[in-house]
A and B are shown apart, each in its own frame.
Chain A
Amino acid sequence: MPLDVYLNVAAAGVLTGLVYGLMALGLSVIFGVIRVVNFAHGEMMSIAMYLAVVLFAGLHLDPLVMLVPIAAVMFAFGYALQAGLINPFVTRPEHSQFLLVVAIALIIVNVLLIIFGPDARSVQTSYAYDSFALGPVIVDASKAYAAAAAIVFTVALFAFFRFTLVGKAIRACADNYTGALVVGLNVRRLYALTFGIGAACVGAAGAMMTLIVDVTPLIGPSYTLLAFVIVITGGLGSMPGALIGGILIGVTEAMAGLLFTPSAKSMFAFAILVVVLLFRPQGILGRRLT
């Protein structure tokens, strides 16, 4: 196959991977700090996607423009969820947490089904069919814009965690729960804040996702799985790791589809997961787990 095909596919994989990375970032934040197995992650993203669809249909505002409001709504949702429901489960065994979140996911999926019905909804922006030609490479415009937004959002998040007091406090909780308590941090509130931030990430990712795929109530679960694969591959507790994991998975799936049977391309993501879990469980950029 000519080189430009590989480049095209790889480019598409990178761009989509960046958006996946942002979604996974939300999970990394939640999982890394609160250590709750958020199996409703993809479902939360589908809520954000529907928000984007509805706002677009009603107000004709581009999802990228609506990014911040959607993220804000999801932040509130995440905060409330953690403070209200999930908090007591932080110290409970994993299977309990898991079941709680599975129940939440089930409710989300079916409420969406009731409200929106099973048909696919999409956002038809004016640039939906555009593409850029960069030399031999043809880049899908929607993907490019979505990826750019993902980068901007991630940088902002990174700055938040690095430079603000709250951000540092959250990182302290993640590093050393007892130490944080000793120092007097209101861990419970910080957890709620963290979940909210994670939800905001997923909200932003969802808004960007609507430019790339159509939304149905049932797409949540596969993205949840994907988010876990990316987070574990890239490294828990590492933000650049989530992005890198996202890009890696995005490109791998794309190239696997190109080189092997497309209908089997998801197997590669799982194969990578197994390899990572066995040989480098802390992920590419994660710190060694104690």
Chain B
Amino acid sequence: MAHNRVLPNRRHVLGGAAASAAFLAAPAIVRAQGGPLKVGVLLPRSGFEAGIGQDCQRGVDIAPPIFKSLGLPDLTIMNGDTESNVDTAREHAEKLISDGAQILVGSFDSGQTAAIAQVAEQKGIPFVINIAAAPDITEQGYKFVFRNFPTAPTILGDAFANQKELFATVGDAPKSVVYMHVNDTFGTAMAKGIGAVMPKFDMPYKIVEEIPYDPQAHDLSVEVAKAKAANPDALLVTSRLNDSILITRELVKQRWTPKAILSMGPGWYEDQYLKTLGKLSDGPFGFNPWGDPNKKLTPVLAAALAKAYPGVNLNTNHVCTFEALWVAADAYKRAGSADPHALADAIRKTNITENVAIGGGIQFNAKGQNDKIRDGVTQNRDGKQVVVAPKASANAKPEWPMKPYQNRA
């Protein structure tokens, strides 16, 4: 029922269309030259995705000194809160643009990102997506939207390939798997994608049950019971932060430890997950874009993060948000002006090979998609993550199977 939405809807509609109208009336605002680039960063800073949004922000906070050392121009960061909600995301995007943002970065959630992308395309302001996997976002023929993150099919493809490598390394493979996923834009995209992508990889397991659940669910006992009843060897998941914690708690309470938890998506590697569950957080594998420990810039980033936020591990949120900002700064440097068309063209020509994430660097194809990113495989261990695959980026050996929850102190 969300009563706190009663007021915001009016205000947001106002802010939204007002912003767009204001922009139309004064196009000159945007053509300002020189000075720092005004970047509007839209993230879910409140609402049920707040934990992750705030984590992404850390990637923004540690960027300035590193950018300076890379010779990149200054940025003025304008913060926007999507409140984990599509309407708010759209309205705040419009507001940021009317307040002078020359480029947008964001926004972690596929639904909210798609709405922001529409706004950006309508207004002709470049939008660099840090994290969002729904494939349609870059299938609309947009000229101003760029994504430095793999699409759901790519995540799936890399996940399956990496899983086979993982199984080969540990010498074991699950025969049956249950797929639990959150019922939102990202989760649905992943679920739909599996049907198309999985047959190409000849996986050793079958998905015996698919369990979608409400992203706002407070209690996942039934869903986990259903998964347990199917008696799979491993659990495949696509979740958010809160549900990953809920699922783990239920696994403990229902006394079931699968051989492995294979997570494609956020939640299981998040700081809050590790801190809330302590020893119970060890074991799950993550199949996501990740900082490549063997690339030069990664330890620099990790050190900066450790200094500013002691105890927080470098993860996808920080890396991808940092890189999105990097794309903006780099394009500004090459374009020499903040004119949106010039910026968009410059972004299209981006070519950063010595980046942070695993894969071939940052480049965008004609659709605005970076298809050079590769996903890595991480495993939670002792309150941190280690990278166990692909070989070139690995820094540890995987532990298999998972230590039973009931045996952990």
Residues of A within 8 A of B (CB): 1-2, 5, 8-9, 12-13, 16, 43, 102, 105-106, 109-110, 113, 117-120, 128-131, 133, 138, 140-141, 212-214, 216-222, 224-225, 253-254, 257-258, 261-263, 265-266
Contact = CB atoms under 8 A, between A and B. Distances in A.
B225 A222 contact: no
A56 B51 CA distance: 22
B57 to A, nearest CB: 14
B226 interface: yes
20 contacts: A5-B225, A9-B222, A9-B226, A118-B48, A119-B51, A120-B242, A129-B252, A129-B253, A129-B280, A131-B254, A212-B219, A213-B219, A217-B4, A220-B1, A221-B1, A224-B1, A225-B1, A258-B222, A262-B212, A262-B214
A2 B6 CA distance: 46
A213 B183 CA distance: 20
B222 A218 contact: no
A151 B254 CA distance: 24
B50 interface: yes
CB-CB nearest 4 A-B residue pairs: A221-B1, A257-B222, A5-B229, A213-B218
A216 B48 contact: yes
A252 B221 CA distance: 14
A158 B221 CA distance: 31
B10 interface: no
A193 B159 CA distance: 61
Nearest to A224: B1
A109 B4 contact: yes
Contacts of B228: 5
Contact of A8 (B3, B51, B214, B225): B225
B268 to A, nearest CB: 17
Contact of A131 (B4, B226, B255): B255
Interface string B211-231: 111100111011101101110
Nearest to A8: B225
B4 A110 contact: yes
Given A9-B222, A141-B253, 9 more contacts: A9-B225, A110-B4, A118-B50, A138-B255, A218-B4, A222-B1, A257-B223, A257-B226, A263-B214
A217 B223 CA distance: 24
A12 B225 contact: yes
A96 to B, nearest CB: 17
Interface of B: 1-4, 6, 46-48, 50-51, 183, 211-214, 217-219, 221-223, 225-226, 228-230, 242, 249, 252-255, 280
Contacts of A129: 249, 252-253, 280
Contacts of B1: 220-222, 224-225
Contact of A262 (B222, B230, B242): B222
B4 A262 contact: no
Nearest to A118: B46
A43 B2 CA distance: 10
Contacts of A105: 3
A140 B254 CA distance: 8
Nearest to A129: B252
B221 A258 contact: no
Contacts of A102: 3
A263 B249 contact: no
Contacts of A8: 225, 254
B4 A113 contact: yes
Given A225-B1, A262-B212, A263-B214, A12 B242 contact: no
A260 to B, nearest CB: 10
B223 A12 contact: no
A1 B4 CA distance: 42
Contacts of A263: 183, 212-214
Contacts of B47: 118
Nearest to B210: A261
Contacts of A118: 46-48, 50
A254 B222 contact: yes
Contacts of B229: 1-2, 5
A104 to B, nearest CB: 10
Given A219-B218, A222-B1, A258 B255 contact: no
Contacts of A141: 253
Contacts of A257: 222-223, 226
A257 B222 CA distance: 6
A105 B4 CA distance: 9
